[in-house]
Amino acid sequence: MAAAADAGLDVAAVESFLERHPELVEKWLKRKNSPPKAPAAPAAGPSEELRSSGGPGGGWGSAGGPGGPGPGSGGLQRRASQKELRKSFARSKAIHVNLTYDEHVHARAQEPLSSVRRRALLRKASSLPPTTAHILSALLESRVSLPQYPPTALDYKRYLKEHNERQFFLELVKDISNDLDLTSLSYKILIFVCLMVDADRGSLFLVEGAAAGKKSLVSKFFDVHAGTPLLPCGSTENSNEVQVPWGKGIIGYVAEHGETVNIPDAYQDRRFNDEIDKLTGYKTKSLLCMPIRNSDGEIIGVAQAINKTPGGAPFSDDDEKVMQMYLPFCGIAISNAQLFAASRKEYDRSRALLEVVNDLFEEQTDLEKIVKKIMHRAQTLLKCERCSVLLLEDIESPVVKFTKSFELLSPKCSADADNSFKDNAEKSSSYSDWLINNSIAELVASTGLPVNISDAYQDPRFDAEADQISGFHIRSVLCVPIWNSNHQIIGVAQVLNRLDGKPFDDADQRLFEAFVIFCGLGINNTIMYDQVKKSWAKQSVALDVLSYHATCSKAEVDKFKAANIPLVSELGIDDIHFDDFSLDVDAMITAALRMFMELGMVQKFKIDYETLCRWLLTVRKNYRMVLYHNWRHAFNVCQLMFAMLTTAGFQEILTEIEILALIVGCLCHDLDHRGTNNAFQAKSGSALAQLYGTSATLEHHHFNHAVMILQSEGHNIFANLSSKDYSDLMQLLKQSILATDLTLYFERRTEFFELVSKGGYDWNRKNHREVFRSMLMTACDLGAVTKPWEISRQATELVTSEFFEQGDRERSELKLTPSAIFDRNRKDELPRLQLEWIDSICMPLYECLVKLNVKLKPMLDSMAVNRGKWEELHQKRLPSQAASSSSFSSSFTMSLKDIN
């Protein structure tokens, strides 16, 4: 105004003239604000545009604002009235709305219709409320990322800084407002900050972990200078992050307190942390550090300018004002980029969940296959080192017990990456080492609440000792319950250790919970399918049983109820060398009745005599007419048990409940035997194998059949037992019948042999009594080998004939070549096979029983005689193989597998 006064102008008159002619002001402003053509190289020296004095950036702190005239400027200058500024701004908005840089206007005119359509869709989305759903809808409809507008050249920005600071500021704001890629946006912000305040270097740290309550500052760009290209190179983009703890160093201080820090010499400030200098090899002197806030005023990052040029001079107050004006725009741009990244992430995860649904409902017939798919998908979605799925044994029980566990280890974490990749790193077992005492999984299964642990060793619920034993170091844990359609917990899913080393965040938890909903449906459907299969198999078996068997008639019951039962001495059933073929079918019923009475079972357990007769007759009727595993075999096993109990004095050692379970178990241990073994059921895929599985298939069926008879009307011989005695008896009965499986015998006999040989047997210990009862059942089941030679040989011929019939079925129905013991074409090998049977299976058992009770020695002696007979036959028939004992074990191993 002083210059205007010196020129003799009436300021009031000039203002009045301009207010009457606003179009002149508009034209003048348009002419002055139009960007001049950038020269090839910006000329050095002072700008001829209207600027305030005071050096670079000084105009930003003047009263006139960006680009405005300041005091001390030459020529005619005035501050526009607020009214004129509003008019000018409105006209400018009307002219420039939806326009970008001039150099892109022509390019847009050449865009294809599809691109125009997509941009229209994005504008449509921008008019909707800013929710994730609307953004995702627009992205899905357009099928493109948000368009990127290349920024103008740095040289042009430097030119604008020297000649038109207002346009320079607008260019910087427009450049960052068009970029929704957080990486490139962060890079641009650093370059522009360096350019604005003449800093040599800059760094930008963004706040992470705010939702989890563990804030930290993270940056991938901490060594950027104004001469760096605007787009980050690949090596920088993939470089390791730099992480600063919250409140540590100057950056942490600014983030925590929200204050600006301007330090002329960083090393003189105690808050300065030189770790980054050591990391980059760069020497920090002057430093300007300022917080970046979002629209809600929350600190979302920290921008730092380092070493003002030239010579690391201190940053001025005008530099602070420049950054204070620019960083709010940066905060808005960063928030938008973070929202866009979150929306894209949600979109990608939604697509992944759709793929999960497709996968799960493609395979619903095999539980293991569907769980493997679940674990593969979980690792892909959450990028974790380890994933596991644990299924509950009983969803109705208040006691949490997992019956099946599956786990998948990422190939990156395997000791042998090649092998783990080849095998898919899958380790499935009933219980893996690190899941045996998984307290966190049990907690989730019992409460139904998810558990997200960011630092496992700091959480009291985590078992650090078990983790150290397993050899796998757990850092973070995310465990959620798996629900079925009835809102019942059927298991838990657990992921461990994100591959990037960070803890699982809220987004991971939400995704995993949504993922597990579909997994629960898939697992539940698979379990239901398996139940339907088992129900069909059970129905098939039941129909088969009912079509063949029937209960005994009333006349039969009345006949035995009124009959006189011979004494034990008359029947000879207390003799270990009892003739298995001496009694007819009716005499065996009366002998069985005598054994119950002699042992005091009828009186002790108040068994109704008519019910006992009916039960025995029905049990006899439920044995099929096969060659060996028939009613006679069941009775002979029971007779030998009776003889051993009474002869060896075991009756005084075992409880009455145990004795009853053993006697009933002997009579029922081969109920509904079909003349084929467990191996045949598995090979043929019979209904029994589908119902009971391939482990002790027939033994489970025998027990269930015994239970079915007991539950039939008028057959419950245990009806007068107390609830506890009944429960204990049924458990003992099951153990007794399952003990006749030779696989179980081999699993437990080593324990029994060691106890007897070391003299460590204790009748008062429950597990010692259990293994002893199991050995008694096996000894009675194989007892034919201890009978006199003629009886033993006759029994051997019967069982061999039954085996041959199975071998014939294997050859005709299954198209398989039977092993030697089932092949009637190799019947001349029977003596050799009997020698192997006696030496490997029978002899060790009876020798051990004799050590336990010498009264059983006649059984061992008789077996030794029988072995000698088989040895003679073997030498007569196959003299060339008499000394080939070395070949016995190899052929026998295969035969034993088939026999069971």
Active site residues: 629
DSSP state of 263: E
CA angle 707-708-709, nearest 5°?
A: 90
Distances (CA, A) of 684 to 194, 694, 806: 79, 11, 12
600: left (phi over 0), alpha (psi -120 to 50) or beta: left
To 10 degrees, what angle do helices 697-711 and 506-548 make?
A: 70
Q: What is the three-class DSSP state of 41? A: coil
Q: Which of 508, 245, 523, 204 is nearest to 373 (CA)?
A: 523
- The dihedral through the CA atoms of 224, 230, 235, 241 has a sign that is positive
Residue written as token pair 């501050």: 79
Is residue 517 a contact partner of residue 360, using CB atoms and an 8 Å limit?
A: no
DSSP 412: G
Transcribe 43-72 into DSSP letters: PPS--SSS--SSSTTGGGGSTT-TT---TT
**For residues 302 and 289, is the Cβ–Cβ distance under 8 A?**
yes
Tokens of 47: 């700008």
- Under a CB-based contact definition with an 8 Å cutoff, are residues 1 and 69 in contact? no
Q: How far is it, in rounded angstroms, from Cα 702 to Cα 694? A: 14
* Secondary structure letter of residue 224 according to DSSP: B
Smallest Cα–Cα separation from 699: which of 746, 657, 662, 735?
Answer: 735
Question: 437: which 2 tokens?
Answer: 């005492």
Rounded-to-integer distance, Cα 57 and Cα 200, Å: 15
Q: Which helix (H) or strand (E) holds 409?
A: strand 402-409
Angle 563-565-566 from CA coordinates, rounded to 5°? 135
CA separation for the pair 482, 494 (Å, rounded): 10
Strands of 419-488, DSSP E: 426-429, 451-453, 477-483
Other beta carbons within 10 angstroms of residue 58's beta carbon come to 19
42 three-state secondary structure: coil
Distance CA 301, CA 487 (A): 43
Between CA 428 and CA 404 the distance in angstroms is 9
**Tokens found for residue 805:** 């019939």
Report the length, in residues, of the chain. 900
For residues 125 and 134, the answer to whether their CB atoms sit within 8 Å is yes
The CB density around residue 651, as the number of other CB atoms within 10 Å, is 16
Distance CA 184, CA 169 (A): 19
CA distances from 238 to 282, 473, 495 (A): 21, 27, 26
Do 186 and 231 contact (CB within 8 A), yes or no?
no
Q: What is the DSSP letter of 36?
A: P
Residue 584, number of CB atoms within 10 A of its CB: 9
Contact 627, 675 (CB under 8 A): yes
Q: What is the DSSP string of 361-399?
A: HH--S-HHHHHHHHHHHHHHHH-EEEEEEEEES-TT-SS
Question: Would you state the structure tokens that stand for residue 891, as one six-digit string?
Answer: 């052929």
- Looking at the DSSP bridge assignments, the partners of residue 203 are 304
